[in-house]
């Protein structure tokens, strides 16, 4: 493993360990050995997640032109035929006939060393020496791979994949010639509605929240008396039977999405795509994410999904590399037209002013709440040397911090606990606060640093004389004295920035 790679594993391992120790994230069903790809949010994690969703909700729906909804997770099965998920939401997979492990074809090459890949390709080219068509095809795929692994692209190609797969060793058991042919594996979870478990009662756990918005387009537009352009936003769980769950919360089987579909006149699609692209990147920056770790990844025209006219990912630089945290798509009229076709209901919009009738285009912003959670957590994590000791601190934006303030009596006597409890009671009415009277004050500060609490309030001897307390800032570690009577307003001002 390269130095860079092992360092990134260390950072993720430290964060996973801190997340468990401090109650941000636990493995699902841990006492039974865990359930792969599923995670539980603990007391601090649930606050962070709720704060992320709350900030998204406020920024997306506290405006005139976006309405919110909360659609059901189970939807009519025809929805997923119309959306193309039944047919296309698949990953090509191979199984090892000996150890029974299953692998995604598009990532199988990741477990093979470059030296081995070169050897396998050279071998294949030698075997193909009179087939210039296939050799040209290999060279062209390699030349146009961009930032993707060309070997994985070759494996995904129908023709070349068939020739390459028998040459690979199974990454799990090491056997060769043990793979089945590639097969399509649908990522939607199936269940049954009603008492009879047969094909007529199959329903799916939604793999994205977007479809609940598309099918409600006219309900929302007419009930909220909205005119185009306007959007519909939703936060909710989505489920995908991912084959390779990896990197903690990055790719899980159950996760949350925060999606907004903005319905526009097709003539104005570019203007709105650019608008939302800008808005969404700024949202992460405004919540304190390091701008140098954020970038756009514009999809090249030849890589666009079949329904998209333009697409951009907002990527974050995780310790294991750049990864998408949000997708912004111009989905054209694809979704509404398909739902018109499959439901036989018109989803056209009539514009009173221009007297035009048309199927709107949709600009989609699709963020992962759980993937965003991981990015915010990693971005906030710092280890600093303070007085010869390592201080682990989560420098969350105050709006995201799970606990807003901690209250400490310096000692458990001389009237200090009573005043500290009084402050706690008063603040608790509006803020998530924490009371701690255990251990040395330095240790109490460190515990709150690790939880990401932006302010620590200490009641000391001076408090009993002049009713002032110290307020310590998590990041600068500086303290200032504030009158108890001004404390609430002081915190509100700081937390609303």
- The site for ligand GAP (CB under 6 A) is made up of 208, 210, 240, 242, 251-252, 255, 257, 259, 324-327, 364, 366-368, 370-371
CB of 156 to ligand GAP, least distance (A): 18
**Residue whose tokens read 């493995």:** 27
Neighbours of 128 (CB within 10 A): 16
Pick 116 or 337: Cβ nearer ligand GAP: 337
Pick 110 or 242: Cβ nearer ligand GAP: 242
Pick 25 or 154: Cβ nearer ligand GAP: 25
Q: Distance between CA 327 and CA 209 in Å, rounded?
A: 13
Paired tokens of 10: 């260390």
What angle is formed at CA 283 by the lines to CA 146 and CA 281, rounded to 5 degrees? 20
CB of 403 to ligand GAP, least distance (A): 25
Pick 313 or 424: Cβ nearer ligand GAP: 313
CB of 304 to ligand GAP, least distance (A): 13
DSSP 74: B
Instruction: Yes or no: say if 229 and 66 are a contact pair by the CB < 8 Å rule.
Output: no
Pick 251 or 397: Cβ nearer ligand GAP: 251
Instruction: Yes or no: say if 456 and 471 are a contact pair by the CB < 8 Å rule.
Output: yes
| Radius of gyration of the chain measured on its C-alpha atoms | 27
CB of 375 to ligand GAP, least distance (A): 9
CB of 341 to ligand GAP, least distance (A): 19
CB of 232 to ligand GAP, least distance (A): 13
CB of 366 to ligand GAP, least distance (A): 4
Paired tokens of 131: 């087939």
Pick 41 or 255: Cβ nearer ligand GAP: 255
CB of 87 to ligand GAP, least distance (A): 16
CB of 286 to ligand GAP, least distance (A): 18
CB of 259 to ligand GAP, least distance (A): 6
Pick 249 or 420: Cβ nearer ligand GAP: 249
CB of 374 to ligand GAP, least distance (A): 9
Helix/strand/coil for 354: coil
Provide the CA 360 distance to its chain's centre, in angstroms: 28
Residue nearest to ligand GAP as judged by C-beta position:
368
Q: What is the DSSP string of 439-496?
A: S-HHHHHHHHHHHT-SEEEEE-HHHHHHSEEEEEETTT--EEEEEHHHHHHHHHHHHT
Nearest to 281 by CA among 323, 317, 325: 325
CB of 37 to ligand GAP, least distance (A): 8
CB of 109 to ligand GAP, least distance (A): 20
């Amino acid at each position: 493993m390269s130095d860079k790679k092992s360092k990134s594993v260390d950072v993720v391992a430290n964060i996973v360990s801190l997340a468990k120790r401090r109650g941000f994230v636990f493995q699902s069903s841990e006492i039974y050995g865990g359930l792969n790809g599923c995670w539980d949010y603990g007391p601090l994690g649930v606050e962070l997640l709720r704060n992320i969703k709350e900030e998204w909700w406020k920024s997306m729906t506290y405006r005139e032109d976006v309405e919110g909804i909360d659609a059901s997770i189970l939807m009519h099965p025809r929805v997923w035929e119309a959306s193309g998920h039944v047919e296309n939401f698949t990953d090509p997979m191979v199984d090892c006939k000996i150890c029974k492990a299953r692998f995604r074809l598009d990532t199988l090459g990741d477990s093979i060393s470059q030296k081995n890949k070169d050897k396998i390709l050279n071998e294949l080219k030698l075997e193909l020496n009179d087939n210039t068509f296939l050799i040209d095809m290999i060279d062209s795929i390699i030349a146009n791979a961009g930032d993707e692994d060309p070997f994985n692209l070759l494996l995904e190609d129908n023709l070349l994949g068939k020739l390459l797969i028998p040459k690979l060793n199974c990454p799990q058991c090491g056997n060769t010639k043990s793979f089945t042919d590639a097969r399509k594996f649908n990522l939607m979870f199936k269940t049954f509605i009603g008492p009879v478990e047969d094909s007529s009662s199959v329903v799916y756990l939604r793999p994205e929240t977007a479809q609940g918005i598309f099918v409600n387009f006219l309900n929302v537009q007419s009930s909220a008396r909205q005119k185009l352009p306007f959007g519909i936003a939703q936060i909710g769980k989505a489920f995908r039977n991912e084959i390779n769950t990896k990197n903690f919360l990055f790719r899980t089987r159950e996760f949350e999405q925060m999606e907004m579909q903005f319905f526009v006149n097709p003539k104005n699609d570019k203007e709105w795509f650019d608008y939302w692209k800008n808005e969404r990147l700024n949202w992460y920056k405004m919540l304190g994410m390091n701008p140098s770790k954020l970038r756009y990844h514009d999809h090249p025209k030849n890589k666009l999904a079949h329904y998209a006219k333009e697409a951009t990912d907002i990527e974050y630089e995780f310790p294991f590399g750049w990864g998408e945290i949000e997708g912004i798509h111009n989905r054209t009229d694809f979704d509404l037209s398909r739902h018109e076709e499959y439901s036989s209901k018109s989803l056209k919009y009539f514009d009173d002013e221009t007297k035009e009738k048309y199927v709107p285009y949709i600009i989609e912003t699709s963020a992962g709440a759980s993937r965003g959670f991981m990015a915010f957590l990693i971005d906030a994590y710092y280890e600093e040397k303070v007085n010869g000791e390592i201080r682990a601190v989560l420098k969350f934006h105050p709006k995201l911090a799970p606990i807003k303030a901690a209250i400490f009596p310096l000692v458990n006597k001389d009237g200090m606990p009573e005043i500290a409890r009084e402050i706690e009671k008063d603040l608790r009415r509006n803020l998530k606060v924490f009371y701690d009277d255990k251990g040395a004050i330095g240790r109490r500060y460190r515990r709150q640093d690790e939880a990401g609490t932006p302010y620590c309030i200490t009641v000391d001897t001076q408090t009993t004389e002049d009713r002032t307390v110290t307020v310590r800032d998590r990041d600068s570690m500086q303290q200032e004295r504030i009158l108890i009577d001004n404390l609430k307003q002081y915190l509100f001002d700081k937390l609303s920035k």
